[in-house]
Amino acid sequence: MAGIFYLIKMFCVSNTHYLKKNYFAHLTIAYLTIIKRLLMASIPVTGSAKTSKPTLKFFQLLNMSFGFFGIQFGWDLQRANMGPIYEYLKASPDQIPLLFLAAPLTGLLVQPIIGYMSDRTWHPWWGRRRPYFFVGAVLSTICLFFMPNSSALWMAAGLLWILDTSGNIAMEPFRAFVADMLPEHQRTAGFATQSFMIALGGCIASALPWIMSNVFKVSNVAENGNIPNSVKYAFYAGGSIFLAAVLYTIFTTKEYPPTEAELKEREQAGKTSWITEINHAIFNMPVKMKQLALVQFFTWPGLFLMWFYYNTAVANNVFHGNTVTSPKLYSEGTEFGGLTLSYYNIIAFVFALMIPAISRKLGRKRTHALCLLCGAIGLISVGFVTEKYELFFCMTGVGIAWTSILSMPYAMLAGALPENKIGVYMGIFNFFIVLPEIIASLFFGWIMQHLLNNNRMLAVQIGGAMMVLAALICYFIVKERKNEDASDAEIATLEIEEQRSV
């Protein structure tokens, strides 16, 4: 990994003329350099006396986190393109929410089960978590290769269920991987490295169809009702990257066998079923968790409606294309929408460097409420766009909100949870992300058909209005003590523990 980083850096330095306009390359190298310096500063020269786990070097942290680059690549690729793929296959706008039901249901069911299973797995070579990385990556890659070749709507929908299940199998154990591999003092560095890989994978994946057609000149025209080649090749590349990145982590990182104390602890824990433990936690949620759950419940529908309809709304309302009379304009619109989704990921990981300082000055709940308002303004203003480049302004607000959504609620929640049950409560907190999506998937199709006349842009703007409501709930209902603040370690840890693709 050190050699890869060195070669990338030398290429960028030696090709200054070419990269003068390549802001993404500059930003990638600058951000990676900043992350490296921050992480190296947090790593002691010697190992901790309190643990037998050795302190890992910077590039060892990159090795163990590199698989997340591929996993997030697969998630963002399907997230940005499944709406257009469904419409290429003649799905009506009111059918789209129900067709996206796979993601929340598989997340709700698969993640706790895989987490429970991986805790109790051990193999001398494969280790504890890596078998699940491998199985999930192989199945996801197969689905990504087949998805753009779907010949019917039922085939694409079925593949999405398998893809989301496989993605959860690969992703869920990564949350525990850092805790398994790193001593306590180095976990912040491990989570921050994962954060960078997640952001980088999301940026590239969302823009990949646009890159295929504009850089590699692959056709973006849907001929005879088929999915364009630019989308097909993007999925082929995404599947290959997914598998290669996960295999890289598997072959460069070895897991530690469980200690005698851990074996005894697992044996004791096995006497209580995970169902019993979850039920007890649900009925004993702290008051602050209930307040924040309400904020989450109204925040995430705004994101879901954006993922359901944003790309197709851009194609219809900004590019004035459709799949029947102007398929080329429609393809250009969905590709450009994906490019702007890539842009909000860039904004998100840049703003992530600033949000701790802002929260220290304003307080966490004020910071989160303000960021949610920025996202709401971005989503609502999409309906007033007349020039395609104005979409970047809209997505700037969404990127700011996305950073806060993935960090501030968990930072606010941290102090209210018992130390020995943080994992259980974080899993329950995740319910208030997937439940709104399940509700939207089941019922928003009726709203689209009977109340919105299948207007995709109005659906995106309704998502912005939901985010306004979430901001008001956060500001007026969530209680926050004076001078209450979370350390950077808490924010980074909690952000990645709940960084799931929905």
Whole-number pLDDT of residue 188: 52
What mean pLDDT is predicted for residues 347-364?
Answer: 82
Which pLDDT band holds residue 473 (cuts at 50, 70, 90)? Answer: very high
What mean pLDDT is predicted for residues 320-338?
Answer: 86
What mean pLDDT is predicted for residues 307-328?
Answer: 87
Hey, which of 296-305, 353-362, 431-440 has the most confident mean pLDDT? Answer: 296-305
* C-alpha pair distances (Å), 187 with each of 42, 66, 177: 10, 16, 10
Whole-number pLDDT of residue 265: 62
> Of 11-20, 281-290, 391-400, which gets the smallest average pLDDT?
11-20
Cβ neighbours, 10 Å, residue 445: 20
Higher pLDDT, 28 or 283: 283
Q: Which among 110, 74, 144, 97 has a CA at the least distance from the CA of 307?
A: 97
Whole-number pLDDT of residue 383: 93
Q: Is the per-residue pLDDT at 422 higher than 50?
A: yes
Whole-number pLDDT of residue 31: 43
Whole-number pLDDT of residue 457: 94
Output the six-digit token pair for 46.
Answer: 């010697």
d(CA 241, CA 141): 9
Cβ neighbours, 10 Å, residue 384: 10
What percent of the chain shows pLDDT beyond 90? 29
> Of 44-48, 58-62, 118-122, 235-239, which gets the smallest average pLDDT?
44-48
- pTM comes to 0.68
Whole-number pLDDT of residue 250: 92
d(CA 76, CA 203): 8
Q: Is the per-residue pLDDT at 79 higher than 60?
A: yes
What percent of the chain shows pLDDT beyond 70? 75
Q: Is the per-residue pLDDT at 45 higher than 70?
A: no
Right CATH for 56-256+276-497 from 3.30.360.10, 1.20.1050.10, 1.20.1250.20, 3.40.50.2300: 1.20.1250.20
> Of 63-72, 98-107, 188-197, which gets the smallest average pLDDT?
188-197
Q: Is the per-residue pLDDT at 423 higher than 80?
A: no
Whole-number pLDDT of residue 120: 72
Whole-number pLDDT of residue 484: 53
What mean pLDDT is predicted for residues 442-461?
Answer: 91
Which pLDDT band holds residue 181 (cuts at 50, 70, 90)? Answer: confident
User: Do 474 and 364 meet the contact criterion of CB atoms below 8 Å apart?
Assistant: no
Whole-number pLDDT of residue 13: 44
Higher pLDDT, 494 or 472: 472
d(CA 311, CA 78): 12
> Of 31-45, 278-292, 353-367, which gets the smallest average pLDDT?
31-45
Q: Is the per-residue pLDDT at 269 higher than 70?
A: no
> Of 13-27, 352-366, 369-383, 428-442, which gets the smallest average pLDDT?
13-27
Which pLDDT band holds residue 24 (cuts at 50, 70, 90)? Answer: very low
Q: Could you tell me where the DSSP H helices lie in 43-152? A: 58-88, 96-99, 102-119, 130-146
Q: What is the mean pLDDT of the chain?
A: 78
At which residue do the structure tokens 């990949």 appear? 208
Higher pLDDT, 235 or 282: 235
